[in-house]
Structure 1
Amino acid sequence: MVDSTSLKFLGEGEWKRKKHQPEYRRQWHKLHIAIDAETLQIRAVQLTTNNVSDSQVLSDLLDQIPLDEQIDSVYTDGAYDTKRCRQVIADRQAHAVIPPRKNARPWKDTKSHSQERNELLRTVKRLGRTLWKKWSGYHRRSLVETKMHCIKLLGEKLSAKNLTIKSTRFMHVWQS
């Protein structure tokens, strides 16, 4: 299961602006995680700047999981409903459980993941989004939302200036 959330941080010298000026611009990073649905263990982490989209990170997250470890299904939200994400999931021989975007149109190419998504569009149109979510087990995605909530409760503000160091500190805290 894959999801992302924003984490606030104060840039260099920003605490001074906050202290001395009523208005200041808050910066933030995005934390992307992949968890194992059975153990709820965090399997992959990527910390990015706020201008990186969720779908751009999926490949990097799945690459952090060793190839010899089987991935049965990848549950994500509609932000990952892209050809690239579905191809990355198919490359790992996993099943994509991604709701189509509200304005989704069928894809014209004949790749298997595109045909699967087109069938999903027809199914959602016939059954409705709510029934599809129950039928597909999409509600299990709430597990990753719960994990994100725990992360935010236990330490949203990361105290490091360097993005790599922040990511390393996060992994150290959450893997122990």
Structure 2
Amino acid sequence: ITTERKTDASQLLKMMKKLKPFNINQVYADGAYDQTKCREAICAAGAVPLIPPRKNARLKKGKNGELVDSYRNDDILYIWELGAAAWKQDLGYHRRNLSETAMMRLKHFFSERLSSISFKMQKQEVLMRIQILNELNAVKLKVAANQ
């Protein structure tokens, strides 16, 4: 979670440093993360950034006018040639919806509002909510397995 003064994308750099030991292969993110610093942080952690370029995206070129070798340039060229729908399908971008669905369920089950005032306690409150939802999911899976 972030405060109202920070964007999610601004926190990605810290998060990727913490996640580096987990050997993550791919990071799915929405267009808000289409920033050089986000892509660099993902690559520095050894993962491939799967972020759709903005609709008005331009190819990045080097000092001599040559195309820079980057995932973003590859994505832009792919989308120009085959379209955004094909890019999403071929790269499995739909997997990002799993995390969106999980967040939607969390907010729906508990509401979007937090009771705690301090940011430190808000983080704890969110972690408790996640733990409760995970426990409920585990019970649901056990019940389904026994039927």
Tell me the TM-score range normalised by the shorter chain. Answer: 0.7 to 0.9
Structure 1 residues 169 and 114: alpha-carbon distance in aligned structure 2, compared to 1, 3 A threshold: farther
Provide the residue aligned with 2:7 in structure 1.
Answer: 53
- Picking from 124, 128, 143, the partner of 2:83 is 128
Give TM-score, length-normalised by structure 1: 0.66
Task: Verify: 1:76 aligned to 2:19, yes or no.
Answer: no
State the aligned residue count.
127
Aligned to 2:138: none
State the TM-score, normalizing by the size of structure 2: 0.78
Identity of aligned residues (%): 35
- 1:102 correspondence with 2:55: yes
Structure 2 unaligned spans of 5+: 133-147
Partner of 1:153: 108
Is the Cα contact below 8 Å between 2:26 and 2:49 reproduced in 1?
yes
Q: Which residue of 2 aligns with 1:173?
A: 129
CA distance in 1 between counterparts of 2:47 and 2:94 reads: 18
- Name the structure, 1 or 2, with higher relative contact order (CA <8 Å, separation 6+): 1
Question: How far did residue 119 of structure 1 move?
Answer: 1.6
CA distance in 1, matches of 2:98, 2:55: 23
Amino acid at match of 2:57: A
Three-state SS of the structure 2 residue aligned to 1:99 is: coil
Give 3-state SS (helix, strand or coil) of 2:27's partner: strand
Taking the aligned partners of 1:87 and 1:144, their CA distance within structure 2 comes to: 22
CA 1:120–1:163 in 2, change beyond 3 Å: closer, same or farther? same
Contact 1:71/1:93 (CA < 8 Å) preserved in 2? yes
Aligned partners of 1:55 and 1:85 also within 8 Å? yes
Is 1:62 matched with 2:21? Answer: no
- 8 Å contact 1:81–1:98 — kept in the other structure? yes
Cα 1:82–1:91 change in 2 (3 A) is: same
Q: Which structure has the highest strand share of the two?
A: 1
> What is the RMSD computed on CA atoms of the aligned residues?
1.9
Give, in angstroms, the shift of residue 123 of structure 1: 0.7
Question: What's the offset of the Cα at 1:130?
Answer: 0.7
- CA offsets, 1:44-73, max 9 Å, x none? xxx2222322220111222333x3311010
Question: Aligned partner of 2:77: which letter?
Answer: R
Gaps of 5+ in 1: 1-46
Q: 1:61 to 1:175 in 2, by over 3 A?
A: farther
SS at match of 1:68: helix
